[in-house]
Structures are given as C-alpha cells and as structure tokens.
Amino acid sequence: MPPSALIDEFRAIVGEGGVLTGDDVTGRYPGYFMQRVEADILVRPETTEQVSQIMALCNAAGQPVVIQGGMSGWVRATQTRQGEVILSLERMNRIESIDPANRTAIVQAGVILERFQDDLEPYGLSFPLDLGGRGSCQLGGNAATNAGGMRVIRYGMMREQVLGMEVVLADGRVLSSMNRMIKNNTGYDLKQLFIGSEGTLGVITRLVLRLRERPVSSNTALVCCDSFDRIAKLLRHMDGALGGLLSAFELVDNSFYRTNTGEGRHPAPLGSDKPYYAMIEALGSDHERDRDLFESVLADAAEKGLFDDAIVARSEKDRDAIWGIREDLEHIVHDFQPFYAFDVSLPVGDMEAYMGEVTRRLKSIWPEGGIAFLGHVGDGNLHIAIGAGTTEDREQVESCVYEPLRPFGGSVSAEHGIGLEKKPWLSITRNPLERGLMRDIKQMFDPKGILNPGKIFAEEAS
Amino acid sequence: MPPSALIDEFRAIVGEGGVLTGDDVTGRYPGYFMQRVEADILVRPETTEQVSQIMALCNAAGQPVVIQGGMSGWVRATQTRQGEVILSLERMNRIESIDPANRTAIVQAGVILERFQDDLEPYGLSFPLDLGGRGSCQLGGNAATNAGGMRVIRYGMMREQVLGMEVVLADGRVLSSMNRMIKNNTGYDLKQLFIGSEGTLGVITRLVLRLRERPVSSNTALVCCDSFDRIAKLLRHMDGALGGLLSAFELVDNSFYRTNTGEGRHPAPLGSDKPYYAMIEALGSDHERDRDLFESVLADAAEKGLFDDAIVARSEKDRDAIWGIREDLEHIVHDFQPFYAFDVSLPVGDMEAYMGEVTRRLKSIWPEGGIAFLGHVGDGNLHIAIGAGTTEDREQVESCVYEPLRPFGGSVSAEHGIGLEKKPWLSITRNPLERGLMRDIKQMFDPKGILNPGKIFAEEAS
C-alpha cells in the first residue's frame, strides 16, 4: 500500500496539525551530510498512546518508519527514502517531573538537551551529558545513539545516565521500564538494547534520567607538548592527582590548532609550534580550594616534565577562549575541502602509531591533503578531519582511516554510531557472530523490518 | 541420556583432574541458603576452547548446565538439581594483562575480586568494585550478577566496569567482544545482555575491565540523625560539597547499630539512641587537603543541622572500627532467628514511608520480631534483616517486604539478582511485556533451555 493511503489514518490519530506532507516535509533540514529529505509524510505524535497507534498501523501495513529527533547526528542514521514515513518526536517535549531528593527526572524523548540542562539549574542539579549539538539534539536521540561528548571521562556516556525507559515497539506494544533506581537487578536489562540502536529496534518515547549535583567551580587549562607519550602520562597524572574532579581532557593536534588560531580567527593562547595541545577541565565544589588544587597539580606535572607550556584560564572569557579553539569546527570545514569527518576509538597507548599510519596512507595518495586529529583522549576517542581528493574519493579516504584500526582492535565509531555512513565498515569492529546476533535481535524486535530499514546492518546474507 | 554418559567425553576435553564426581561434588560448599549440592558432576575447564567443547556437547545432549563462580551469591542462582552438570570457572583464574596507559585489564572469569584489586596496586591503579564477598567472589560472577557494593555511588556497578567480554554461548559458539575502549558505538551492545543474566544466557569466560587511578587519601565519618529526611539532605550536601570525592554513603538504622554495638561486640563510637546512622567515605588524591575539605564540609553540614552528632576517623583503626559496624553481619544473623535477608531498591524520597510500612506489616504479625534496615542509601538500595516467625514463614515474611514496594515502583532486587530466591516476586518489578521479552531473549540465546534452567523466570505460560 502506498504510504499516502495511511495519511487519513495518521490524521485520525494525531489530528490535522500532526501530519505534514509534501514540501512541508521535503523542505525540512535534511541533517548533516544529507542532500534532501526524500520521504514526504511526517507524523508528529504528542503522546505515547499516539506513537503506539501509529506503529501498530505501520506494522500492519508493512510501512517503513524513520524516527527523527534533533537531526544533529553525523552518520545519516535519520536519512529517508521515498515511500518511508518520518516519525518526529518534536512535539513530545515535556519535562514531566524532577525529583531533587532522588536526583532523577522523567522526560519525554523530544526534550532538547540544552533546555533540560538549563531547567535543572534552580534545583542545584545538572545533567552531565554535554556535546556540541546541545542546542538542537533531543534526549531521545541521545539515548538512541548513546551520545558521548566532552565529559564522558567523569560521568560516562548517555548509557550511564539512563535509569528507565519507555519504548514503543515496532508492532505498537508499549514497553514500560521506567525504573527510577540506580540499582535494579531483576533479569535482563532490556533498556540497554535500545540505547545505541539508532532507531532500529523501537521508538524511545520517555526516559528516567539520573541527575548529578551541580558543580560550582570550574578550572580550565590549555597545555602543549611535543610528545604524545607525555600527553598520555599527563592524563593519568591529572586524573589521579585531581581526585574525582577531572571532567574533560581533550586533545587537538597542531594542524587543528593552527587552523583555528590562524589570522582573523581565534587568538592563540600558546605558540603554535607544538604537535599536541590539550584542554583540561576540572569541575568541583569550592572556587578557591579547587583553583589551588588545580594549579598545584599542574605545577607538579610541569616539574615532572609532562608538558612544555601551559596557560590557566583566569576568567570565564579565558575559559571560553580555550574551549572555543576546541569546539569551533567552522574553519576546519572551510579549509578542508572536500570535508571528511571521522570518529574512531582505540586504546590510548596505540593512538600515536595509529595517527602516524593514517597520515602516512593519506599523504601517500594526496601529499597536499589536510588532516587534523582531535578528540576525547581520555576515552580513547579520536575525531579526524580530512580535506583531500574529491567528493568521489570517499571510499579511499575512509579506507585510510578505518583499515589501520584493525591491528589495534579499534572501533570505526566511538560515539557517532553507524547509520548509513559506516555500514560498509562495521565488519572491522564487529565480527560475524556479533553481526549475526545483532540481526537475530533485530528480527526478534522488528520481524517485518519496518524500523529505520537499511541502517547499521549491511544488507548481507546471514 | 543420563549425565554420567558424558563423563568420559568431559575427561577427554579437560583431562582427568578437570572432572569431579560423586562426593567430591556433593560435598562441596553449597553456597548461602542452600542445603546441599545436588548435582554430582563438576567440570573445570582451563580454556575458552574447553568451555566451548563442553557446551557444544551439553547442548547436543540437551544436558542442563549450572555455572558456578565464587559461590557468594545470596539468591540461590547457583543451586543445582540432580542430573545437572556444574561448570566451574575456578581454574580459569589468570590475569592475562594489565595496560596502565589505557587503564584496562584482561582477565579470565575465575579471577577472585580481592586478588585482582591487590595485583593492581603496583600500577597505581584500582578496580573500584568492592563488596563483602571480595575474598571469594569471581570477576565472571560479578559480571554475571552485575554486582554492586559499597562504591556504586561514585563508580557505578559492575556493568560500568566491563568494557569487553568473551562469552561461550549455549551451543558452544564463542562470542568474542573484547572491546578495550570506553566508547564503541557500533550496533547493539551485546555484552549488556549477559551482564546480570545470572548464567542463563551464556558462559562468561574472559573480561576486559576498566581501571581507575588509585585513590591515596581516605576520609571516613560516622554520623547519627533522628530524621530520615535530614539524612537524605545530608547525602546531597556531601555529594555536592565534596565535588567528585564522595565514594560511600551507607545507612544503618538503630536496630542494626544496637545489635552490632551491644555488649562484647563492637565499641559504639556514638550513642545508640538515634534512629539513623550513616557511614560517609571520601576518596581523594591528597591527604591533608582532602582531610581539611572533608572536615569543613562536615562542619557546614552540622551548621545546617543535617545531623545530630558525628565522629571522624583519625586513624586506620578508627576507620576499621566504623566500617566494622557496617560490614559485620555475624551478630545480626545470630540474634535474628530465623534469619531472613532482603535487598530492595526504591527512590530515596520514598524510603522512610517504605520502611515504616514494612515494619508495620511485620510487627502486626510478629510483634516481637526483629527488623533492621541498612544499605547504600545513595543508590536507593536498602538491605533488610528480619528475624521473625519460623522457617516455615518465608512467604509471609517476603510478602511484608515485597508487597509495599508496589506503590513506589521499587525493585525486589537492587543488587543480589533473582536466582531462585526471588523468582516468585519478579512480577512486582517486571511487567508482563518485560518478562515476555526476557523469555524471547532466553529462547534466542538458549533454545534448548540448558543454561541454569529454572532460574530468574517463573515457569509460567508465556
């Protein structure tokens, strides 16, 4: 049945304003690295019950459904094809409750991350997940992709923040697992399957999230260093000597630093002649005490020769200047054309060898190509920006990045997920039995294959 | 086929010494709350390959298998029946590698927790999972039960410590997911299913574990308070004001405190007239600084009236004296007869009402019955010790504890798991759809139902 036959039924469920069609859909923002929205029906439910009815209808009709959140993903996991129906959670955007004593909140999936962070402030609480897309990404999407970001080293990924979940299954059944406790060992932890499943196993509609005490002090430094080995030692030193306060340890390489501190761009707080720069952040509870600790721990590190130069932020302006160098991707996208972006992980001790090998492969093909490494080194997570070749060279560029992961047991996706972008490379990180079991799970939860079809899994014979 | 027909085949796989039979098996320690080992064949493989061969053999023969680790569980998840074969991981006890730069270790499942903790000391690293059974429990069992313990508030449960896993499936296939990175978003996170599955989905043979920097300072206090509400506020105050240092916040009630500080038992550091006592621990990186911080944060709490009296440990001896009161279960088991022990969780804000209701129900039946509450209040986890009725009254005692969880959405098992002990009560915490999906997953991974049959799931029609 053509999806248009379902429109009236969708309208009966969600009302006139809940269904968009035609240009109102295809004209929407398609998301990173996507040309255009191909699907031309979009349904915007307001309640779990409506989601349930929509899914029951689509399942009965064998109608493919692509779930969309804030559209800030990088791997085309929300890309649509003609004939698919988009299910957008944008109208399910209510923070239902905040429980300060239990330090939990119940939210609908469409709540935007930054709004949630802001709303917690009056309670002295925080939601520690933080990433560049905070202004548009939705908490449901954060769960569906197991989002990471800057503070994983201290607080973990989205997986560690989700205590409970409500999911509408492919056939419309509502799985309610709205656990509010940190500890609940009562059989298989079903919610774990949906976290990171990129919309292929169910529609996450509500979440119980764990909250943390809001830090009051923040200390930030930028250091530079001519050896990766010393950067790795500095990470361990800072993590150990700061007790539990270290909240970010971000690396950028010389290429990235130079790009962002070039003329007319960000001021360079440190000279631009070193191969590695690290942004270090500690969040604590006492301004004066934490500043003293931070500086004394840095001074120890200097004495041990763990970096070459450093600057400590003295004001919010300083801090923003340091983070601005790390977070601004505009210049790198401008200079590196065609722009290719990657997100891999591997053990810290293997990173230097890996970066060397990727660079060697790339430069052997495109000697003038640009390459920059940055990332969450404390989590083993490297982002790689490449400007080389033409837009036709994607596969060859990808090969330069992904093939060298094999000897290190690295991952083709640290935090961005697989989507469509990395589907051809999944086998580098997941072996045949793992992929086979994933397909079995998909088959169990979505036997008709209507949820985000074609994502994550290559259409391979099993 | 009777299991004895398999003995020669087991010997061919693991050698003569790898198979125990008869009294050598039935005479072994049966574990808590279990009368006797009923199975009389025990196989002790030394390699994953041997485990794989054993499971392939058992699966082909439809032979039930019960996996045993350190036998320190509390819910009879390792109980055996006649005709079952025990698979013990005790000879797979090698720490295969420790990677200090990446802060990971690769271990076999039979490594004992305490030995692993000790072996990390020279590296300046720690494995933060810690629980009473540390001297006997095995890391594989910790993963299979998603163990918790004292420091979950800071470091999370076993789930948060497991980066990678090797599992032998019911049919002997070896699932190798030995990921060494904190971040790896490449499809469904299969290992999550096995964590907490209590031996019903596969045999965990090897683990990649995340390590942390070893704390150097430790500060401990005991406080008492006449209101639960203020204890809950004190928890938030300490967690916030100590920045990232708070590592334990343990509650014991008056009944437990009095029992353990009675004549000839532990000295009482504080008077025994208060309803609630809390043990508070902070782990940090600097002796002097952390002590000053700890004392000033406690002083603030005193000023805010968050407790009535407090004593801070000045020496290791003081600290052991405080923790001794919390960790010693001997006296409570002696005084509370017949001894019933429970492990539940619920939101912190509901705990006082819950404790009141359990006490009311119990006392209405057994006015002279003993009841004591203790637990990891920061995790919403309460342990309950009861001495009431006779050994025949188990179901009625359980009903007093579990039924009052319903209105609060509480869990019948915070950390101990379900095993056989809590099977009749699983439906309080897990709804029919959750239980149905659990059975679907069991069916997918173990279609013949040979792995730890009858555990977790009630034998109910689906």
Which residues of A are less than 8 Å from B185 in CB distance?
145-146, 148, 196, 411, 413-418
Backbone angles phi, psi at A136, to 5 degrees: -130, -25
Q: Which of A52, A174, A185 to mutate to test the interface with B (most CBs of B within 10 A)?
A: A185
CATH 3.40.1550.10 fits A217-327, yes or no: no
pLDDT digits (tens, 9 = 90+) for A58-87: 999 999 999 999 999 999 999 999 999 999
DSSP state of B337: S
Is residue A272 scored above 90 in pLDDT? yes
Q: State the nearest Cα–Cα gap between A378 and chain B, in angstroms.
A: 9
Tokens of A387: 């400007």
Q: What stretch of H or E contains A203?
A: strand A203-210
pLDDT of residue A1: 65
Does the structural domain A3-88 have CATH classification 3.40.630.30? no
**Integer angstrom CA distances of residue A277 from A261, A298, A353, A377, B138:** 12, 15, 18, 11, 41
A189 touches chain B (CB under 8 A): yes
Interface test with B, best of A142, A184, A348 (most B CBs within 10 A): A184
- Contacting residues of A for B189, CB less than 8 Å apart: 146, 159, 192-193, 195-196
**Contact check, Cβ <8 Å, A240/B159:** no
Is the interface score ipTM higher than 0.90?
A: yes
Strands A276-284 and A246-253: antiparallel
Number of Cβ within 10 Å of residue B304's Cβ equals: 12
CA A386 to chain centre: 19
Could you read off the pLDDT tens digit of each residue along chain B, which spans 462 residues? 677 889 999 999 999 999 999 999 999 999 988 889 999 999 999 999 999 999 999 999 999 999 999 999 999 999 999 999 999 999 999 999 999 999 999 999 999 999 999 999 999 999 999 998 999 999 999 999 999 998 999 999 999 999 999 999 999 999 999 999 999 999 999 999 999 999 999 999 999 999 999 999 999 999 999 999 999 999 999 999 998 999 999 999 999 999 999 999 999 999 999 999 999 999 999 999 999 999 999 999 999 999 999 999 999 999 999 999 999 999 999 999 999 999 999 999 999 999 999 999 999 999 999 999 998 988 999 999 999 999 999 999 999 999 999 999 999 999 999 999 999 999 999 999 999 999 999 999 999 999 999 999 866 443
In this prediction, residue A4 carries a pLDDT of 81
Q: What's the distance, Cα to Cα, between the start and end of chain B in Å?
A: 28
As a whole number of Å, the end-to-end CA separation of chain A is 28
Structure letter (DSSP) for residue B377: G
Q: What angle do CA A282, A123, A71 make, to 5 degrees?
A: 70
**How far does the CA of residue B364 sit from the closest CA of chain A (Å)?**
29
Could you say which residues from 230 to 249 on chain A have a Cβ atom under 8 Å away from some Cβ of chain B? 232, 236, 239-245
Please check whether residue A326 touches B, CB under 8 A. no
What pLDDT digit, counting tens, does each position of A171-197 carry? 999 999 999 999 999 999 999 999 999
- In this prediction, residue A461 carries a pLDDT of 43
Q: What is residue A462's predicted lDDT score, i.e. its pLDDT? A: 37
Write phi, then psi, for B376 (nearest 5 degrees). -95, 80
To the nearest 10°, the Cα dihedral for B445, B447, B451, B452?
110
pLDDT value of residue B462: 37
Please give, rounded to a whole number of angstroms, the shortest distance from the CA of A156 to a CA of chain B: 8
The answer to whether B179 faces chain A, any CB pair under 8 Å, is yes
Which residue ranges make up each domain of chain B? 3-88, 95-213, 217-327, 330-429
pLDDT attached to residue A51? 98
| All residues at 6 or more sequence positions from A133 whose CB lies less than 8 Å from its CB, including other chains | A70, A72, A113
Question: Cα distance from A234 to chain B (closest Cα, Å)?
Answer: 11
Please give the pLDDT value at position B433: 98
Query: How far is it, in rounded angstroms, from Cα B256 to Cα B327?
Result: 11
The answer to whether residue A250 neighbours chain B at the CB level (below 8 Å) is no
Query: Within its chain, how far is the Cα of A276 from the centroid?
Result: 24
- The pLDDT tens digits for A313-354 are 999 999 999 999 999 999 999 999 999 999 999 999 999 999
> How many A×B Cβ pairs under 8 Å?
282
CA separation (Å) from A316 to A71, A269, A313? 30, 14, 7
- Residues in chain B with CB shorter than 8 Å from the CB of A426 are 186-187
Q: What's the confidence (pLDDT) of residue A3?
A: 78
CA–CA–CA angle B451, B453, B459 (5° rounding): 140
Which residues in chain B are contacts of A199 at CB distance < 8 A? none
Best residue in B168, B186, B289, B306 for a mutation probing chain A (most A CBs within 10 Å)? B186
> Which residues, including other chains, have CB under 8 Å from residue A129's CB and lie 6 or more apart?
A113, A142, A147, A149, A151, A155, A157, A158, A161
* Closest in A289, A431, A444 to B440, CB measured: A444
pLDDT of residue A262: 95
Tell me what percent of chain B is helix, strand and coil, each rounded to the nearest 5: 40, 25, 40
Residue pLDDT, tens place only, A187-228: 999 999 999 999 999 999 999 999 999 999 999 999 999 999
Tens-place pLDDT, residues A425-459: 999 999 999 999 999 999 999 999 999 999 998 66
DSSP readout, B94-124? Answer: -EEEEETTTTEEEEETT-BHHHHHHHHGGGT
Using CA atoms in the order B417, B422, B424, B430, what is the torsion angle rounded to 10 degrees? -40
Are A95-213 and A330-429 the same fold in CATH?
A: no
pLDDT at B378: 86
Work out the burial of residue B81: count CB atoms within 10 Å of its CB; fewer than 13 is exposed, 13-18 middle, 19 or more buried.
exposed
Summarised one tens digit per residue, pLDDT across range A293-319 is 999 999 999 999 999 999 999 999 999
CATH number of A330-429: 3.30.70.2740
The CA distance from B43 to B12, in Å, is 11
| CB of A100 less than 8 A from some CB of B | yes
Mean pLDDT, residues A246-270:
96
Q: How many CB atoms lie within 10 A of CB B447?
A: 11
Cα B311 to Cα B326: distance, rounded to the nearest angstrom: 15
Q: How far apart are CA A219 and CA A290, in angstroms?
A: 8
- CATH class of the region B95-213: alpha beta
